[in-house]
Amino acid sequence: AMTDVLSAEDIKKAVGAFSAAESFNYKKFFEMVGLKKKSPEDVKKVFHILDKDRSGFIEEEELKFVLKGFTPDGRDLSDKETKALLAAGDKDGDGKIGADGMCLEE
């Protein structure tokens, strides 16, 4: 579960901060949820939780539900938010994010 890696309190705060439509900022979200301070192993654990179909990648349709991956009451991302998140993490332009793109650094 996500709470094995991240604090339930941090998850709740981070998801709540972006509850308004079109407000999602992945950099702020990953920072608030505590992902930036985690080891590469922990980041990979989070990645595998979000990779619902176990393909080894997070595709656009999985990204839309990224907040639900952190907590069941998270909202769906808009198409615009989903595309921005995909563009940030898709290092090679293949339309999906591999585990190495998960940190979404600058």
Q: Is the pLDDT of residue 78 over 50?
A: yes
- Amino acid at site 39: S
Radius of gyration of the chain (CA): 12
pLDDT tens profile 18-30: 999 999 999 999 9
Residue 57 CA to residue 9 CA, distance in Å, equals 27
Q: Is position 62 annotated in a ligand binding site?
A: yes
Does residue 106 surpass a pLDDT of 50?
Answer: no
Q: What pLDDT is attached to residue 103?
A: 63
78 is in an annotated binding site: no
- Sort 66 into a burial class: Cβ within 10 Å, 0-12 / 13-18 / 19+: buried
Topology given in CATH for the domain delimited by 2-98: Recoverin; domain 1 (1.10.238)
Is there a contact between 89 and 105 (Cβ–Cβ < 8 Å)?
Answer: no
Q: Has 53 been labeled as part of a binding site?
A: yes
- 55 annotated as belonging to a binding site for a ligand: yes
pLDDT digits (tens, 9 = 90+) for 28-65: 999 999 999 999 999 999 999 999 999 999 999 999 99
Whether residue 100 is annotated as binding a ligand: the answer is: no
Domain ranges across the chain: 2-98
C-alpha dihedral sign at 89, 44, 55, 61: negative
Secondary structure E strands in 1-106: 57-59, 96-98
